């Protein structure tokens, strides 16, 4: 996930330049196949790749449940993963309805415009409520738990928590949407009920992130960073709670504030 490189560090306060080793975040192509047919290349951090594949397919609506998976073949050295689905799954129909248009998903942005498919994102029906203090504590723990971020400053972190603040899954990636996919995949493999969890992350809450959360039924997304207008639009459409700027002793709740208890 991180790589050691040689850099020149310039300090203007002392007027000195020094050659030192430093860590940078790795970004590599990850080639995802469905039933041996190429689906997409995801530029990502090379960790938790099985979870990334499963979480991505769940959050994009290709998979409805991990019970639809027959076999996952991960070849880390080659950077490939082939997810074989059970024969009764109508893959072609789901691919046709998918919002994914490009076949290379960069770490800087997600898998296409969320606006086109807001009407196809199911309403989040969860009755989960979480104390505001637990949201604060969970979000503020992220950067302390994220070793790669502390080393490089170049990784996003996402985590799933239960309503009592207990950690379910945590992942880091160069792409904020990849980090979300990874924790979704981790939780799915643990057979966790998404409706009883909330998502905490370090990056901006874009429409892409809100779409993924709503697609699997996560009721609350809370972040150290801001919400984008696309994130608010998707959240409003899907009855998803968005809370941003969760820092210190305050937060901005953009949509469905009733789930966060003061």
Q: Active-site residues: which are they?
A: 109
- Give CA–CA dist 60/72, Å, rounded: 17
Residues 6 or more apart in contact with residue 219 via CB below 8 angstroms: 124, 126, 128, 195, 198, 240, 241, 259
H or E element: which one contains 85?
A: strand 80-85
Tell me if residue 46 falls in helix, strand or coil: coil
Which residues partner with 195 through β-bridges? none
Rounded CA-CA distance 229/130 in Å is 24
Main-chain dihedrals φ then ψ at residue 77, nearest 5 degrees: -60, -35
Determine contact, residues 25/2, Cβ cutoff 8 Å. Answer: yes
Query: Cβ contacts of residue 216 below 8 Å, gap of 6+?
Result: 58, 59, 184, 188, 194
Q: How far apart are CA 203 and CA 180, in angstroms?
A: 10
> Which strand ranges, in their side-by-side order, compose the sheet holding 80-85?
69-75, 80-85, 28-34, 37-44, 104-105
Q: Tally the C-alpha atoms within 13 A of residue 217's C-alpha that lie toward its C-beta.
A: 14
């Amino acid at each position: 996930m991180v790589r050691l490189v040689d850099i020149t560090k310039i300090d203007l306060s002392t007027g000195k330049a020094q050659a030192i080793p430093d860590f940078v975040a790795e970004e590599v192509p990850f080639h995802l196949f469905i039933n041996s047919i190429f689906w997409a290349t995801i530029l990502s951090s090379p960790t938790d790749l099985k979870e990334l594949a499963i979480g991505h397919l769940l959050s994009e609506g290709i998979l409805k449940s991990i019970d639809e998976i027959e076999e996952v073949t991960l070849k880390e050295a080659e950077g490939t993963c082939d997810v074989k689905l059970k024969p009764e799954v109508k893959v072609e129909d789901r691919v046709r309805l998918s919002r994914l248009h490009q076949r290379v998903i960069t770490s800087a942005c997600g898998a296409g415009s969320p606006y086109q498919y807001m009407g196809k994102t199911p309403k989040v029906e969860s009755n989960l409520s979480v104390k505001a203090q637990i949201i604060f504590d969970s979000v503020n723990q992220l950067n302390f738990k994220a070793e790669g971020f502390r080393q490089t400053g170049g990784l996003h972190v996402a985590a799933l928590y239960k309503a009592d603040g207990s950690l379910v899954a945590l992942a880091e990636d160069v792409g904020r949407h990849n980090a979300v996919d990874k924790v979704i995949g981790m939780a799915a493999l643990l057979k966790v009920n998404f409706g009883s969890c909330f998502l905490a992350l370090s990056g901006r809450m874009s429409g892409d992130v809100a779409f993924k959360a709503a697609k699997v039924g996560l009721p609350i997304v809370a972040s150290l960073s801001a919400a984008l207008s696309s994130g608010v639009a998707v959240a409003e459409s899907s009855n998803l709670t968005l809370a941003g700027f969760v820092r210190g002793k305050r937060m901005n709740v953009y949509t469905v504030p009733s789930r966060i208890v003061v």
